[in-house]
Amino acid sequence: MARRVLDALTARFGDAIQSTSSDYGDEVAVVRRDKLVEVARFLRDDPAMAFNLPCYCTCIDYLGLEVLTVRPTSPLAVPSVPARPVDDRPRFAMVYELRSLVHKHRIRIKVPLDENDLVVPSLSELWPAFNWLEREVYDMYGVAFEGHPDLRRIYMYEEFIGHPLRKDYPKERRQPLVRREWTDE
């Protein structure tokens, strides 16, 4: 049923929708960044779409991900073909998931982002739920959201340098705020 949503999107936005797929039962539409707000507004306001419940938004960092050249036949088949690193694909991809309580369908919008201009228009005025969700992505991945009411770190403290969930941030690099000096007691 949600296939209808994807077709409606491609029909209406044409080239802005780079690709659509529905593997594992999830409908995914890859949208270009500059058309994101338009697509989102359409999805929310169009009565046939009626995506009123925002599910979540996050970001994927593809640094160093190796993609299999041939897709294994059964999901359990161990891929024998060696994977090759991907360098032409943009490093980040924003992921928004929306749900419609009216029509009971769900869609996931992916927005590929290049590494050196990590800016995405904010959707927090369309759905207030994205206020904190975007702050979390800003805190963890460093993606700037233009038009966000108050974009600041939500999980880490202000003195924290860097964005921890990026693949190049080592897991155990701590930036301690306070430590006690070890006296002999």
Partner 1 sequence: MGLEITTTRLEDAANWGRKFSLFTYPFVTACCGMEFMSVAAPKYDIARFGAEFPRFSPRQSDLLMVVGTITERQGPVLKRVYDQMAEPKWVIAFGVCASTGGFYQNYSAMPGADQVIPVDVYIPGCPPRPEQVLDALMLLMKKVQEGRGHSQVRHKREQLVREGG
Partner 2 sequence: MAEIKKLVLGRREAADLDEEQELPTELMTVNMGPSHPAMHGTVRIVLTVDGERVVESDVQPGYLHRCFEKESEHATYTQIFPYTDRLNYISPMINNVGYAMAVEKLLGVADRVPLRAQYIRVIVSEISRITDHLTCVGASAMELGAFTPFLYFLKFREWLFELLEELSGARLTYSYVRIGGVAHDLTPDFHERLTDLLARGEEVLVEVEAMLNNNRIFRDRMEGVGPFSAEDAIAFGMTGPCLRACGVDYDIRKDYPYLVYDRLEFDVPVGTTGDCFDRYLVRIEEIKQSMRMLRQALRDIPAGPIILDDPRVALPPKKETYNTIEAMIRHFKHIVDGIRVAPGEAYSFVEGGNGELGFFVVSDGTGRPWKCYCRSPSFINTQTVSRTISGHLISDIVPIFGMINMIGGECDK
Q: Does 136 bind partner 2 (CB under 8 A)?
A: yes
Q: With CB cut-offs between 5 and 8 Å by kind, which of partner 1, partner 2, none does residue 154 bind?
A: partner 2
C-alpha 40/C-alpha 127 separation (Å) is 10
**Please, what is the minimum distance in Å from the beta carbon of residue 34 to partner 2?**
24
C-alpha 99/C-alpha 112 separation (Å) is 21
Residue from 48, 55, 54, 10 nearest 29 by CA = 10
Q: How far is CA 41 from CA 6, 52, 91, 122, 126, in A?
A: 15, 10, 26, 12, 7
Q: Does 97 bind partner 2 (CB under 8 A)?
A: yes
The owner of tokens 């780079």 is: 18
Q: Which of 18, 19, 48, 79 binds partner 2 (CB under 8 A)?
A: 79
Q: With CB cut-offs between 5 and 8 Å by kind, which of partner 2, partner 1, none does residue 127 bind?
A: partner 2
Footprint on this chain of partner 1 (rule: CB under 8 A)? 155-157, 164, 169, 171-180, 185
* Residue type for position 38: E
**Please, what is the minimum distance in Å from the beta carbon of residue 2 to partner 2?**
12
Q: Does 10 bind partner 2 (CB under 8 A)?
A: no
